[in-house]
Every structure is written in structure tokens, then in C-alpha cells.
Amino acid sequence: MKLEVGYIPIRDIQFGPTSKVDGNVLYVNQDELSRLLLQDEAIESVALDIARPGESVRITPVKDVIEPRVKVHGGGGIFPGWCAKVDTVGSGRTNVLKGAAVVTAGKIVGFQEGIIDMSGEGARYTPFSTLNNLVLVVEPKQGLAQHAYEKTLRLAGLKAAEYLGKLAADIEAEEVHTYETLSLLEGVRAYPDLPRVGYVLMLQSQGLLHDTYVYGVDAKQIIPTLISPTELMDGAIISGNCVSACDKNTTYHHLNNPVVQDLFAEHGKTLNFVGVIITNENVFLADKMRSSDRTAELCGYLSLDGAIISQEGFGNPDTDLIMNCRKIEAKGIKTVIITDEYAGQDGASQSLADADEAADAVVTGGNANEVIHLPAMERIIGSIDAVDHIAGGWSGSLNEDGTITAELQVITGATNELGFNTLSAR
């Protein structure tokens, strides 16, 4: 499977009479986009806003971040199973509005959404402070249940990203990256001397608003399987969950999976990147055992020499992470796991909920309990009143002057377990 990804750099977003990309500016017709989103009868109102890098802006409560992309050719459409039919994606040509994102905001649960600061201390921790963000604040019809609200907001974000992505269909890209995964046999022939490396991508599937979707299928219901890394770049996997903001893999993360990118960077040079195994993080023990068994079996079947295992969330999924690691290592396959830590505010407590001596190569995204101080912002997009209740906040986190003292947990994407950031801990 071979995919060309064309980057069209976006350096600003403006509202205007016609939605279009002109140079490096993305213009958005507010009325047209709002009307499109309001076709969903569950939505009472949509407010569109723009947050740019360096501005004194705080976006909260953030649910998801999505990058606008469009399928130029090669079959299927972006976000298969949602915005397109379920045809296989990952081949041909895809264009990306690089530097732009759709951010969805709304108080769904009240404590599982996050904060994106566009400047100040908080901006250092979230990768989304570097993007030009079109923010959708979606208010549901009265009485809409939380899980229905989640779905509504999820679809609104995907639709808006698809709407913007289409503006890039006929624009010449400034940069084109080509990614190719060979079939099993071709790979063996092409790189007979390179170590065979796979990527085990664990998808959040604890259920009850902790869900991820693959081609429209709830990942709770999948048996671990193989997927081409380029399928991720076309939105085959999307986020549908409300977990602690810091280690949630947003749809943006899935589209730009850093492990996939960095394995491709070494592909054919120091290693042979064989493919991606997706597995889940279900809460029942039988599911954990079945999924980790299947994952290890697939690694063995692919004759891997090494595997990188990434996680989403913490606590309960730590057990899935360790089971995967232990079972894959038991097959003689070397592993590196990527996780984050909950070592307490003082950093002195045990970091993970499970451990095993087989997990002797760990990359950490940092201690999510570490306390940070966020300055007041001139403008709030969304609503600030959830701050005391979100995971990582406490009664009094939001001070009267608008400053916030809270755990790093509250920042969207701060301790990402795909290794998206440079943050680490010792």
C-alpha cells in the first residue's frame, strides 16, 4: 500500500464570505459551516471561533482535535465509516491543511475534557497551541443524554474537518511525503538483513464514553488485527472518547501517529517496518487475555524481531500494556513500551498500576500528576466553569483572577503515550 501525503501549510484562519484556501490562509464561511452542522437535530447551537498560536486564548472543555484532510485519489474517503463509505483507504493521494485543526468543545461529562492554552506556560505542554484552530462550541438540545451528546460532537468535528479538507483538493502541495508498506513476502525480499519491526497500537476501549472507532467499528468489538500504517493517515481510526485530557489520543494524533512516522523514517535503512497491529483496552479480564494473546500471536506470525507498544489512558489500561509486553517478550521479540506516569504531585509514588520485569525498555510521556500554574487569558473559548471538576483539577483550581493551579492532566495532549511530545520524566 502506497500513499502520497501533500502538505498545504496554513498560517492563518479567517472568517470570510467564501470558504477557500488562498495562499497560506484558510477562509471559512461561518454561516455555511454552521448550517451544515445544524443539520444534526440534536444540536441546539454552534458557535465558531478561531484560536491562533501566541494569542491570549484558553479553549475549554476540549473534547477532540481533528486535522482537515481530503482524499485526492486512490479510493475511499477521509474518515471511512463516518464521512465516507467503508472502502479501504491508505492508497493514492491525500492532501492536508498542515497547521490547521478543528477543535471540538462542549461540557459532555464535566470532568473528562481538557484545556488548550494558545500562549503561556500551558502552551508549552500541548502540541495544539502551535496550530491555527477552528473551534466548534456545540450546545446540545435540552435533555440530550451524555453519550448521544458525545456522538453528536464527534460527528460535528469530523464533518467540519471534512468540509475544510475538501478545500484542499485542487491545491498544489508545498511538500509531498510518500509512505509505502510492502506485502509480507516483498518486504522479506527487499530487506533480508534488516530487523523486522512492528507497531502495536493500543486503542482506548474501556467503554462508557471511552471508545475508539476503526472504519466505524467500535474497537471494543475487534479482535486484534493488522492495518496498514497509511490507513491511519486517511482517518481509518478516530477518537470517540472522554478520558483524562493529557493522555487521550485525539483524532489528530491518529492521523499523525508519530510512531508510524518515525518507523517510516528508519524503514529500509536500519529496520523493516512490517506493519501496525491494532488492539484494544477492554475492561473485562477475558477480553484482556484474548486480546493480548492474539496480539502476541500476530507478532510471532509476522516473525518480528522487535515491537513498539503504545498506550492510551492509564490505570486499568496499564494492565493491558504489561500483558502485551510480557507475552510478546515471551516469544523472544524485543519490545519498547510508551506510557506516562501518575507518580503523585510530589513525584514520589509508584508510576504505573501494573509492572513486570519484561518491561525493561520504557519511554515515558511524563508525570501527569505534576502541578502546573497557568496564567489568566484575555479570552476564553467555551466555558471556564468546569475547571475545578476536570480530571487533574480540584476545588479551588480556578482562581478568582483567572489563573489556574492544577495537575498537568488537565492539558490536552500533554503526556501523550504515542510519543508525540518531547516531555519525559526521570
Q: Which of residues 318-337 bind other proteins (CB under 8 A)?
A: 334-336
Active site residue 242: yes
Binding footprint of other proteins, residue count (CB under 8 A): 84
Binding-site member from 41, 172, 193, 357 for other proteins (CB under 8 A): 357
State residue 141 phi and psi, 5-degree precision: -60, 150
Cα 88 from Cα 100, distance rounded (Å)? 25
Closest distance between other proteins and the C-beta of residue 166, in Å? 30
Q: What is the CA radius of gyration of the chain?
A: 21
Q: Which of 83, 242, 246, 325 is catalytic?
A: 242
User: Is 344 among the residues that bind other proteins (CB under 8 A)?
Assistant: yes
CB 252 within 8 A of CB 128: yes
Write the burial class of residue 352 (CB in 10 Å: 0-12 exposed, 13-18 middle, 19+ buried): buried
For 295, the grid coordinates are 496480539
The yes or no reply on residue 9 touching other proteins (CB under 8 A) is no
The answer to whether the beta carbons of residues 212 and 278 sit under 8 Å apart is no
- Residue number with CB closer to other proteins (162 or 211): 211
Within 277-316, the residues that bind other proteins by CB under 8 A are 305-308, 314-315
Other Cβ atoms less than 10 A from the Cβ of 75: the count is: 12
Q: For cell 486512490, what's the residue?
A: 74
Q: From the CB of 295, what's the least distance to other proteins, in Å?
A: 17
Q: Say whether residue 422 binds other proteins (CB under 8 A).
A: yes
Measured distance CA(254)–CA(216) in Å, rounded: 14
Residue 426 buriedness (CB in 10 A; 0-12 / 13-18 / 19+) = exposed
Nearest CA among 389, 372, 387, 338 for reference residue 125:
372
Query: How far apart (Å, rounded) are the C-alpha atoms in residues 10 and 24?
Result: 5
**How many angstroms separate the CA atoms of 64 and 56, rounded?**
21
Is 174 among the residues that bind other proteins (CB under 8 A)? no
SS3 category, 84: strand
Taking the complex as a whole, the smallest distance from the CB of residue 359 to other proteins amounts, in Å, to 6
| Residue from the set 72, 83, 271, 380 that interacts with other proteins by CB under 8 A | 271
Closest to 74 measured CA to CA, from 2, 167, 171, 161: 2
DSSP H or E segment with residue 177: strand 175-180
343 binds other proteins (CB under 8 A): yes
The single residue among 165, 341, 374, 381 that binds other proteins, judged by CB under 8 A, is 341
The only residue of 339, 387, 404, 412 in contact with other proteins, by rule CB under 8 A? 339
Q: Which is nearer to other proteins, 91 or 397 (CB)?
A: 397
* Range 109-138, binding other proteins (CB under 8 A): 109, 111-112, 124
Cα 48 to chain center, whole Å?
22
Please, which of residues 184-243 interact with other proteins by CB under 8 A?
A: 195, 197, 206-210, 243
By C-beta, is 65 or 161 nearer to other proteins?
Answer: 65
Per CB under 8 A, the segment of 27-35, 179-187, 295-303, 338-346 that binds other proteins is 338-346
Q: Identify which range of 81-89, 174-182, 220-228, 417-425 contacts other proteins by CB under 8 A.
A: 417-425
Residue ranges in 39-78 that form contacts with other proteins under rule CB under 8 A? none
Provide, rounded to whole angstroms, the least separation between the CB of residue 405 and other proteins.
13
Residues annotated as part of the active site = 242
